Amino acid sequence: MRGLFARFYPDEWIDSTYRIDFAGLYADGYRGVIFDIDNTLVPHGDPADERAVRLFASLKEIGFEACLLSNNQRERVASFNDRVGVYFIENAHKPSTKNYRRAMELMHTDLSDTIFVGDQLFTDIYGAKRTGIRAILVSPIHPREEIQIVLKRYLERIVLYFYKRSLGKRERGRCR
């Protein structure tokens, strides 16, 4: 099963976008961050809140370029971006790699210095991994989601079960 699911495994799994050590990532040489919006930065459908505004101000202060990459339509993505003021791509067709690459073009970054942050394995993480970008999975902010996402979450649980098992094996392997 590991081989079958490995393409969906994140490089890192963190409880919240707001717990990521962006200053540390910048020190490690990363210069661009691509974000999903819904349930990654705010609950599904919500506007940018003060926490999101502070995050993007902090990223700019650190020196990061940022881009929102969403499968939502322009109205949703543009209205969210009004408060955070970064690059954005709507109707991205994730997990297609085309717009992950376009985001890097906008930010003037490449595969080696770009990170993706999102909450869904089969769109966000899989697309980033297919593109060759370091992918950070975050736990969804809120349980309110569209029905098609709710159904995917059941399948994600299976993949995450094997992901956690693979981490356990790597940890045990280091102890030998």
Which three-class secondary structure string do you get for 66-121? EEEECCCCHHHHHHHHHHHCCEEECCCCCCCCHHHHHHHHHHCCCHHHEEEEECCH
Helix (H, G, I), strand (E, B) or coil at 16: coil
The CATH-assigned architecture of domain 2-166 is 3-Layer(aba) Sandwich (3.40)
Q: Per-residue confidence at 123, pLDDT binned at 50, 70, 90?
A: very high
Least confident of 12-16, 23-27, 47-51, 172-176: 172-176
d(CA 43, CA 38): 6
- Residue 43: is it exposed, middle or buried by C-beta count within 10 angstroms (0-12/13-18/19+)? middle
pLDDT at 168 over 90: no
User: Structure pTM?
Assistant: 0.86
pLDDT interval class at 153 (50, 70, 90) = low
Segment 19-24 mean pLDDT: 98
- For 28-83, what is each residue's pLDDT tens digit? 999 999 999 999 999 989 999 999 999 999 999 999 999 999 999 999 999 999 99
Q: What is the torsion angle, in degrees rounded to the nearest 10, for the CA atoms of residue 5, residue 9, residue 13 and residue 16?
A: -90
The average confidence (pLDDT) of the chain is 89
Would the pLDDT of 158 be above 80?
no
Q: What is the pLDDT of residue 164?
A: 81
| Of the ranges 52-61, 119-128, 160-169, the best mean pLDDT one | 52-61
pLDDT level of residue 104 (50, 70, 90 thresholds): very high
Q: Which residues have C-beta within 8 Å of that of residue 158, sequence separation ≥ 6?
A: 5
Supply the pLDDT for residue 93: 97
- Here the tokens at position 37 are 């919006």
Whether 93 and 99 have beta carbons less than 8 Å apart is answered as yes
The residue assigned the tokens 């995450």 is 160
Partner residues linked to 66 by β-bridges: 33
Q: What is residue 171's predicted lDDT score, i.e. its pLDDT? A: 45
Average pLDDT value for residue range 113-138? 96
